Amino acid sequence: MKDPAGALAAVRARVDAAARSAGRDPAEVALLAVSKTWPVADVVALAELGQREFAENKVQDLVAKAEELAHLDLRWHLVGQLQRNKATAVVGVGAVVQSVDRVSLVERLAGVAERAELVTEVFVQVDLGGPEGRTAARGGVAPEHAAELADEVAGHPSLRLRGLMAVAPREGAPGPAFERLAALAARVRSDHPGAAELSAGMSADLEAAVAAGATLVRVGTALFGDRALASGSGP
C-alpha cells in the first residue's frame, strides 16, 4: 500500500458523505477491509490506523492471517463461498461467516460451533440476480428463500444471525438491487429483531448501498489497490 492513511481516510469520507446524503448517522455504517491477496504487512498498516475488521475470500488465507495476527485482536470475516469440510477451520479462528447460502452449511456450522462450545456469527447471503432475471453467479440463496434460511440459522443456539449480505449484480445499476435486499432485510428483522445488519456495497457501489440502508460496507480495491497488481495473476 502506497498511502494507507490516505486511502483509509478517503474511504471513510465517502462512507460518511453517503450516510449524510441519505439522512443517516455515519456511525451506523461500519467499514470492513477486504484484504484478499494482499500481504499481512498491509493489514498491519491499516490496523495501526484503527481499522479492526478485515475480510478474506478464501478460508486458507483467512486462517493464516488470523493466526499470524492474533496478537492484534482483529475481527475476521469470510466473504467467499464456504465448503462444509472447511467449517471447522473458520469457526476455530472465530470468524464471521458472511456467505451462508444453504441449509446443509447452516447445519455443519452449527454442529462445529456447538462441539467447540462457541457461538459463530453469520450472515445469510442473498443472490440478487441480474437484469431480466439472469443470475449474477455470485453466490447466495434465492431471494424467495432468504427468510426461510434465516429462520434455520436462528433455530440453532450455536449460531447468531447478524443479518443479510449480498453482492450487486454485474450488470445494471446497483441501487434497485440493494433496495430489494433492504426490503428482504426488513422482513427478516421483523421475525428476528437481532438480525439488524445489512452487509452490502463495495468500492464501486458503496454509496448506493449506504443509501439503501447498508450497515457494513466491504471495501478492498479503494483501500488496498488493484488486486491484479498484488497477485500478479490478472483481474
User: What is the tens place of the pLDDT at every residue in 180-191?
Assistant: 999 999 999 999
Cell of 31: 467499514
Residue 233 confidence (pLDDT): 35
Instruction: Using the predicted structure, report yes or no on whether residue 133 has a pLDDT greater than 70.
Output: no
Residue 2 confidence (pLDDT): 84
* Better-scored residue on pLDDT, 36 or 1: 36
Look over the chain and give the mean of its residue pLDDT values, rounded to a whole number. 93
Amino acid at 61: D
- Of 65, 68, 10, the closest CA to residue 35 belongs to 65
Amino acid at 157: P
Q: Which helix (H) or strand (E) holds 99?
A: strand 96-100
The upper half-sphere exposure of residue 40, i.e. CA atoms within 13 Å in the direction of its Cβ, equals 13
* Better-scored residue on pLDDT, 234 or 20: 20
CATH architecture observed for domain 4-223? Alpha-Beta Barrel (3.20)
Distance CA 58, CA 63 (A): 9
Residue 132 confidence (pLDDT): 41
- Of 206, 209, 235, the closest CA to residue 222 belongs to 206
202 close to 217: Cβ distance less than 8 angstroms: yes
> Residue 3 — pLDDT band, cuts 50, 70, 90?
very high
Residue 129 confidence (pLDDT): 81
Which residues are within 8 A (CB) of 117 and not within 5 positions of it... i.e. 6 or more apart? Answer: none
Cell of 150: 434465516
Query: What pTM did the predictor assign?
Result: 0.92
> Residue 139 — pLDDT band, cuts 50, 70, 90?
confident
- Percentage above 90 pLDDT, the chain: 87
Instruction: Using the predicted structure, report yes or no on whether residue 228 has a pLDDT greater than 90.
Output: no
130 close to 171: Cβ distance less than 8 angstroms: yes
Report how far apart, in Å, the C-alpha atoms of 186 and of each of 12, 36, 191 are.
26, 30, 9
Cell of 55: 475480510
Residue 138 confidence (pLDDT): 64
59 close to 90: Cβ distance less than 8 angstroms: yes
* Better-scored residue on pLDDT, 136 or 188: 188
